Structure 1
Amino acid sequence: MITIPLVGTVKIFVNDAFKEKEPWQIVTITTTSLLTAIWLWDLIFQDESLADRVKKKGMKLARYIPAIRAKIDKELSKINADFEEDCVRRVKNVPFIVTLPKEGFTSEQVLKLVEQCTQLGDFDWENGKVSGTVYKNDKDLSQLMGNVYSIASYTNPLHPDIFPGICKMEAEVVRIACTLFNGDEDTCGTMSTGGTESILLACKAYRDYAREVKGIKKPEMVIPVTAHSAFDKAAQFLKIRVRTVPVNSKSYTVRIDDMRRAITKNTIMLVGSTPNFPYGTMDNIEAISELGIRYNIPVHVDACLGGFLICFMSQVGYELPPFDFRLPGVTSISADSHKYGYAPKGSSIILYRDKKYRHHQYTVSTDWPGGIYGSPTVNGSRAGGIIAACWATMMYFGSSGYLEATKKIIDTTKYIEGELRKMNGIFIFGTPVSSVVALGSEDFHIFRLAEALVAKGWNLNSLQFPSGIHLCVTHVHTEPGVADQFLNDVRTELEIIMKDPKLPVEGKLAMYGMSQGIADRSVVGEITRSFLDAMYYTPKLKLASIKK
Structure 2
Amino acid sequence: MSERPQPLKAINKFFDGKEPWQIVTLTASSVLALVWAHSLYNGKETPTVRLRKEFFRWLRRVPIVRRKIEEKMSEIQNDFKKDVAKRLAGVPINRHLPENGMPSERVVEEIRDHLSLGAYDWKGGNVSGAVYHTSEDICRVACDAYALAAYTNPLHADVFPGVNKMEAEVVRMAANLFHGDDQCCGTVTTGGTESIMMACKAFRDLAYNNGISNPQMILPTTAHTAFDKAAQYLGISVVTVPVDPETLTVDVNAVKKAIGRRTCMIVGSAPNFPYGTMDDIEALSDVAVEYGVPLHVDACLGGFVAAFMPEAGYPVPVFDFRLPGVASMSADTHKYGFAPKGTSVVLYRRPEYRHCQYTVTTDWPGGVYGSPTVNGSRAGGLIAACWATMMYIGRERYVRMTADILATTTYIETELRKIQGIYIFGKPATTVIAFGSKEFDIFAMAELLHKKGWSLNALQFPSGVHMCVTHAHTGAGVAARFARDAADAAALCRRSARAPADGKMAIYGVAQNISDRSLVSDITKHFIDSMYYLPKPEDLEK
* Superposition map of 1:208-287 within 5 A: 208-212=205-209, 214-287=210-283
Q: What SS class does the counterpart of residue 206 from structure 1 fall into?
A: helix
Q: CA deviation at 1:18?
A: 5.1
Q: CA deviation at 1:313?
A: 0.5
Q: What SS class does the counterpart of residue 244 from structure 1 fall into?
A: strand
Residue 186 (str. 1) matches residue 153 (str. 2): no
Query: What is the one-letter code of the residue matched to 2:116?
Result: Q
Q: What SS class does the counterpart of residue 505 from structure 2 fall into?
A: helix
Q: CA deviation at 1:17?
A: 3.7
Q: Distance in 1 between matches of 2:523 and 2:114?
A: 26
Q: CA deviation at 1:88?
A: 2.5
Q: CA deviation at 1:13?
A: 7.7
Cα distance change on mapping 1:515 and 1:21 into 2, 3 Å: closer
Q: CA deviation at 1:261?
A: 1.3
Cα distance change on mapping 1:400 and 1:35 into 2, 3 Å: same
TM-score, normalization by structure 1: 0.92
Query: What is the one-letter code of the residue matched to 2:374?
Result: V
Residue 478 of structure 1 corresponds to: 474
Query: What is the one-letter code of the residue matched to 2:197?
Result: L
Residue 128 of structure 1 corresponds to: 125
Of 456, 459, 463, the match for 2:459: 463
Residue 313 (str. 1) matches residue 309 (str. 2): yes
Residue 88 (str. 1) matches residue 63 (str. 2): no
Q: Could you list the per-position Cα deviations for residues 246-268 of structure 1 after superposition, in whole angstroms to 9, with x for gaps in the alignment? A: 11100111111111111111111
Q: What SS class does the counterpart of residue 268 from structure 1 fall into?
A: strand
Residue 361 of structure 1 corresponds to: 357
Indicate if the aligned counterparts of 1:80 and 1:531 stay in contact, CA closer than 8 A: yes
Q: What SS class does the counterpart of residue 509 from structure 2 fall into?
A: helix
Q: Distance in 1 between matches of 2:35 and 2:246?
A: 37
Q: CA deviation at 1:231?
A: 0.5
Of 321, 326, 330, the match for 2:326: 330
Query: What is the one-letter code of the residue matched to 1:252?
Result: L
Residue 155 of structure 2 corresponds to: 158
Q: Distance in 2 between matches of 1:474 and 1:62?
A: 46
Residue 343 of structure 1 corresponds to: 339
Q: Aligned-pair RMSD on alpha carbons?
A: 2.4
Cα distance change on mapping 1:56 and 1:365 into 2, 3 Å: closer
Q: What SS class does the counterpart of residue 86 from structure 1 fall into?
A: helix
Query: What is the one-letter code of the residue matched to 1:305?
Result: L
Q: Distance in 2 between matches of 1:121 and 1:182?
A: 41
Q: Distance in 1 between matches of 2:253 and 2:58?
A: 37
Q: Distance in 1 between matches of 2:27 and 2:55?
A: 33
Q: CA deviation at 1:53?
A: 6.3
Q: Could you list the per-position Cα deviations for residues 267-295 of structure 1 after superposition, in whole angstroms to 9, with x for gaps in the alignment? A: 11100000000000001111111111111
Kindly, what percent of the aligned residue pairs are identical?
52
Cα distance change on mapping 1:113 and 1:493 into 2, 3 Å: same
* Superposition map of 1:291-310 within 5 A: 291-310=287-306
Residue 390 of structure 1 corresponds to: 386
Q: What SS class does the counterpart of residue 498 from structure 1 fall into?
A: helix
Cα distance change on mapping 1:186 and 1:540 into 2, 3 Å: same
Residue 284 of structure 2 corresponds to: 288
Residue 202 of structure 2 corresponds to: 205
Q: What SS class does the counterpart of residue 309 from structure 1 fall into?
A: helix
Residue 64 (str. 1) matches residue 61 (str. 2): yes
Q: Distance in 1 between matches of 2:369 and 2:389?
A: 31
Q: Distance in 1 between matches of 2:13 and 2:237?
A: 45
Indicate if the aligned counterparts of 1:155 and 1:163 stay in contact, CA closer than 8 A: yes
Q: CA deviation at 1:477?
A: 0.5
Residue 522 (str. 1) matches residue 524 (str. 2): no
Residue 415 of structure 1 corresponds to: 411
Q: Distance in 1 between matches of 2:271 and 2:493?
A: 31
Q: Could you list the per-position Cα deviations for residues 8-35 of structure 1 after superposition, in whole angstroms to 9, with x for gaps in the alignment? A: xxx998587457568999x998997797
Query: What is the one-letter code of the residue matched to 2:444?
Result: R
Cα distance change on mapping 1:505 and 1:56 into 2, 3 Å: farther
Indicate if the aligned counterparts of 2:286 and 2:325 stay in contact, CA closer than 8 A: yes
Indicate if the aligned counterparts of 2:248 and 2:275 stay in contact, CA closer than 8 A: yes
Q: What SS class does the counterpart of residue 90 from structure 2 fall into?
A: coil
Residue 507 of structure 1 corresponds to: 503
Q: Distance in 2 between matches of 1:135 and 1:236?
A: 29
Indicate if the aligned counterparts of 1:417 and 1:437 stay in contact, CA closer than 8 A: yes
Q: Distance in 1 between matches of 2:41 and 2:219?
A: 22
Q: Distance in 1 between matches of 2:195 and 2:38?
A: 36
Residue 101 of structure 1 corresponds to: 98
Q: CA deviation at 1:518?
A: 1.1
Q: Distance in 1 between matches of 2:270 and 2:156?
A: 35
Q: Which moved further from structure 2: 395-404 or 76-85?
A: 76-85
Indicate if the aligned counterparts of 2:40 and 2:50 stay in contact, CA closer than 8 A: no
Q: What SS class does the counterpart of residue 496 from structure 2 fall into?
A: coil
Q: CA deviation at 1:58?
A: 4.0
Residue 111 (str. 1) matches residue 112 (str. 2): no
Residue 379 of structure 1 corresponds to: 375
Q: Distance in 1 between matches of 2:267 and 2:512?
A: 25
Indicate if the aligned counterparts of 2:40 and 2:47 stay in contact, CA closer than 8 A: no
Q: CA deviation at 1:541?
A: 4.0
Q: Distance in 2 between matches of 1:395 and 1:329?
A: 30
Q: Distance in 2 between matches of 1:256 and 1:331?
A: 17
Cα distance change on mapping 1:439 and 1:23 into 2, 3 Å: same
Q: Could you list the per-position Cα deviations for residues 445-503 of structure 1 after superposition, in whole angstroms to 9, with x for gaps in the alignment? A: 11011000001000000011111100000001111110010000011111111112122
Q: Could you list the per-position Cα deviations for residues 398-423 of structure 1 after superposition, in whole angstroms to 9, with x for gaps in the alignment? A: 00110001011111111111111111
Indicate if the aligned counterparts of 1:95 and 1:541 stay in contact, CA closer than 8 A: no
Query: What is the one-letter code of the residue matched to 1:104?
Result: G
Indicate if the aligned counterparts of 1:56 and 1:519 stay in contact, CA closer than 8 A: no
Q: Distance in 2 between matches of 1:474 and 1:92?
A: 32
Query: What is the one-letter code of the residue matched to 2:343?
Result: S
Residue 196 of structure 1 corresponds to: 193
Indicate if the aligned counterparts of 2:321 and 2:327 stay in contact, CA closer than 8 A: yes
* Superposition map of 1:488-507 within 5 A: 488-507=484-503
Q: Distance in 2 between matches of 1:33 and 1:74?
A: 41
Q: Distance in 2 between matches of 1:296 and 1:24?
A: 55
Q: Distance in 1 between matches of 2:517 and 2:13?
A: 51
Q: CA deviation at 1:221?
A: 0.5
Q: Distance in 2 between matches of 1:24 and 1:191?
A: 70
Q: CA deviation at 1:120?
A: 1.5
Query: What is the one-letter code of the residue matched to 1:97?
Result: N
Indicate if the aligned counterparts of 1:413 and 1:435 stay in contact, CA closer than 8 A: yes
Cα distance change on mapping 1:396 and 1:23 into 2, 3 Å: farther
Of 440, 451, 457, the match for 1:444: 440
Tell me the number of residue pairs that the alignment of Structure 1 and Structure 2 aligns: 529
Q: Distance in 2 between matches of 1:20 and 1:381?
A: 68
Cα distance change on mapping 1:18 and 1:386 into 2, 3 Å: closer
Q: What SS class does the counterpart of residue 247 from structure 2 fall into?
A: coil
Indicate if the aligned counterparts of 1:210 and 1:268 stay in contact, CA closer than 8 A: yes
Q: Distance in 2 between matches of 1:368 and 1:58?
A: 45
Indicate if the aligned counterparts of 2:138 and 2:393 stay in contact, CA closer than 8 A: no
Which runs of 5 or more structure 2 residues have no equivalent in the other structure? none
Cα distance change on mapping 1:527 and 1:163 into 2, 3 Å: same
Q: CA deviation at 1:60?
A: 3.0
Q: Distance in 1 between matches of 2:225 and 2:481?
A: 32
Indicate if the aligned counterparts of 2:40 and 2:46 stay in contact, CA closer than 8 A: no
Query: What is the one-letter code of the residue matched to 1:243?
Result: V
Indicate if the aligned counterparts of 2:179 and 2:322 stay in contact, CA closer than 8 A: yes
